[in-house]
């Protein structure tokens, strides 16, 4: 099994499609959270750019993410996404920084 990882997905709506994109993305949240490999799945909207939506996702493994992409509700979203998106989604994967490399100030400081 691969290591857990995080993803940030940015989705920018076409002009006039901002609310519909938000509704479609919001509909993915509850069923995705029920998936066995999903640790976190949260939808956010940009304060400065209301056409931009962000998904913060955490997955137990790559295999779990692969299974997510096969879920009927996600397949359905991918079938209609181009009618709502101004550009391709920006999908980035992240892993936790090694211990000691995070931005928290140590108590010894």
Report the CATH number at residue 45: 3.30.70.100
Q: Is residue 30 part of a domain?
A: yes
Q: Is residue 109 part of a domain?
A: no
pLDDT value of position 97: 83
Q: Is residue 108 part of a domain?
A: no
Please tell me the distance from the alpha carbon of residue 41 to that of residue 73, in angstroms, as a whole number. Answer: 15
| Burial class of residue 3 (count of CB atoms within 10 Å of its CB; 0-12, 13-18, 19+) | exposed
Segment-wise mean pLDDT, segments of 10 residues, the chain, 109 residues = 89 98 98 98 98 98 97 98 98 87 53
pLDDT value of position 98: 81
Q: Is residue 104 part of a domain?
A: no
Q: Is residue 67 part of a domain?
A: yes
Q: Is residue 12 part of a domain?
A: yes
Cβ contacts of 7 within 8 Å, gap of 6 or more = 55, 56, 57, 58, 59, 65, 91, 92, 93, 94
Q: Is residue 100 part of a domain?
A: no
pLDDT value of position 108: 47
For the chain, the domain total comes to: 1
- Give the range of the structural domain holding residue 23, as residue numbers without chain letter: 5-94
pLDDT value of position 21: 98
The answer to whether the CB of 17 falls within 8 A of the CB of 84 is yes
Q: Is residue 103 part of a domain?
A: no
């Amino acid at each position: 099994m691969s290591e857990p990882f995080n993803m940030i997905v940015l989705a920018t709506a076409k002009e006039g499609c901002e609310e519909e994109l938000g509704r479609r993305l919001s509909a993915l949240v509850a069923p995705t959270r029920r998936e066995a490999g999903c640790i976190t799945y949260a939808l956010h909207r940009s304060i400065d750019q209301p056409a931009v939506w962000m998904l913060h996702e955490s997955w137990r493994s790559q295999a779990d993410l692969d299974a997510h992409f096969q879920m009927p509700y996600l397949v359905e979203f991918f079938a209609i996404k181009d009618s709502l998106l101004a550009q391709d989604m920006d999908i980035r994967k992240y892993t936790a920084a090694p211990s000691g490399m995070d931005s928290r100030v140590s108590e010894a400081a």
